[in-house]
Structure 1
């Protein structure tokens, strides 16, 4: 479990409700990594549906932004963490066994710990 990261982005919406927020969340988290910071994106509320494999495949808001799938892959390749709220998963009927194996289920306590220890955060709600 990741309990300390320099940058935390929290995302609350799924691809149907606001693809721009998804794109921005992974764009900014990627920028944090490029600047030498550790970075995590937490999927909460309806965004837990984005933890399912291939959920970002069709999220592309166009230039100047990269497609969300590419942003996610680059983020993970460069050491970024995608964390998923366990209570939100349960509430939305998303099973832990169904989520992308590269993502980590976390608790509300973990969310608070990450936010309190981060140097900066961006909340997209």
Structure 2
């Protein structure tokens, strides 16, 4: 399994739109610089993987809204990984996830953290 140059872990959702925006902004910028990036959604952040959920997050200039950042992140090859236990705990259903997201287990979370080149934690 290939591991990311940059792993971004995120636990925030609409309760902390700044951290959500920073995660997607930095992830997109890293992709533009040619790095591989995984965005790991843990805890309440799993809601961001639901289709349409993140569209309402927009903190304003100079940042882009998530409805623009998220598709750009995926288009440029970014990977969104979603904790299955967190999904179950929060009632997020796999059939409601955005296309391109991947459901992962606890062992995958640990492997991603331990094997990525660098991490950015927004919790």
SS of the aligned residue for 1:9 comes to: strand
1:86-101 aligned within 5 A: 86-101=84-99
Paired residue for 2:65? 67
Paired residue for 1:35? 33
CA contact (8 A) 1:3 1:113 kept: no
Q: What do the CA deviations read for 1:19-40 (whole angstroms, capped 9, x no partner)?
A: 1110000011111111111001
TM-score normalised by the chain length of structure 1: 0.94
> How many angstroms does 1:101 deviate by?
2.5
CA contact (8 A) 1:14 1:49 kept: yes
What is the CA RMSD across the aligned residues, in angstroms? 1.1
Q: What do the CA deviations read for 1:15-61 (whole angstroms, capped 9, x no partner)?
A: 1x111110000011111111111001011100111111011111110
Q: Could you tell me which runs of 5 or more consecutive residues in structure 2 were left unpaired when the two chains were aligned.
A: none
Aligned residues: 123
Paired residue for 2:51? 53
Structure 1 pair 97–86 and aligned structure 2 pair: CA distance change class (3 A): same
Query: Which structure: greater helix fraction?
Result: 2
TM-score normalised by the chain length of structure 2: 0.95
